[in-house]
Amino acid sequence: MEERSLGDCIDEYLVYLANVKGRSVHTVRAYAEDFRHFDGVVSRETAIASVSLAQLRSLVGDLSRKSYSIASIDRFIAAVRGLFAYCRKNQYIQENVSLELKTLKRPKLLPRFMTQAEVDALCSQPERKPLLWPARDKALFEMLYSSGCRVSELASLKLSDFTEGYESAVVMGKGSKERYVFFERDAREALQAYLLERKVRFPQSLEEGEAFVAEVFVNQRGGPLTTAGMELIVREYSGVKGTSKPMTPHSFRHTFATAMLLNGADIREVQSMLGHSSINATQRYTHVTAERLREVYNQAFPHSGKDD
């Protein structure tokens, strides 16, 4: 059995995820962030075969004490399991102790979505309260809502991915699967207005050369806007400085899916638009729409128990 250090195994596994499994840059970066939880607890020079179940459980307990969310802890556990499975397959370890790690039980929450009034209010915030870069931020909101894109997909979207007139684009989803997403008139107009401003601010970033930036969305220094940057923008405009109804980029995706189903789209079609590999991921939105329809029924039906 070849003896390998924890650090070497992590580095090799990240390369494997990117080059063999075809995981996106954002996914590989997320795995790397999860593995940083080893820092200060298990040295990178430690032999991977000597990392014990007790140490792994101690890491999970430490994350819990630091008030990490259940989702973050479960993601770390999944990353560790993937790493150790890879090491077992390559015979760097004889026993996969990570299989004994138990994921945490999470309450089943319905996806958080916005009403039409709420999404309209949030999309109009950049014009009403120019907190950052109004034209860019409005385009970002309109495109998130119109397409149902994941935030990572929009961050990776390039100028060359669009069809003529910006009516649709090809995005790279999970598992390196491509799909078309679509943009209605408000999104297209907001995008074109933003690109005009971007051309004035950073003319060199739209011209072929060293300063060229292929990504559609850029930060205020002219570099590609990251997913973290997009999340910050949504927080700014939906927080106390804006609508005071905190949202995330994913809220736009939930709202898109809910609106499509409420307006009669077939669930298989919505699955395709969202890039879900399984229909089960899409079906949870049917629960949301059922709840919404029940609210509408209770408010509107004359015999719903309201006082005359």
The residues annotated as belonging to the active site are 150, 174, 250, 253, 276, 285
DSSP 171-194: EE-GGG-EEEEE--HHHHHHHHHH
Query: Does residue 213 contact residue 224 with C-beta atoms inside 8 Å?
Result: yes
- Taking CA atoms, 28 is separated from 13, 32, 71, 123, in Å, by 10, 6, 17, 31
Query: Does residue 151 contact residue 26 with C-beta atoms inside 8 Å?
Result: no
Q: Is the dihedral of CA 244, 245, 246, 248 positive or negative?
A: negative
Rounded CA-CA distance 148/113 in Å is: 12
Q: What angle do CA 202, 155, 252 make, to 5 degrees?
A: 120
Determine phi and psi for 172, rounding to 5 degrees. -100, 110
Q: 130: Cβ–Cβ under 8 A, 6 or more apart, which residues?
A: none
Of 86, 62, 79, 81, the closest CA to residue 12 belongs to 86
Coarse DSSP helix, strand, coil percentages of the chain, rounded to the nearest 5 percent:
60, 5, 35
β-bridge mates for residue 162, sequence order: 169
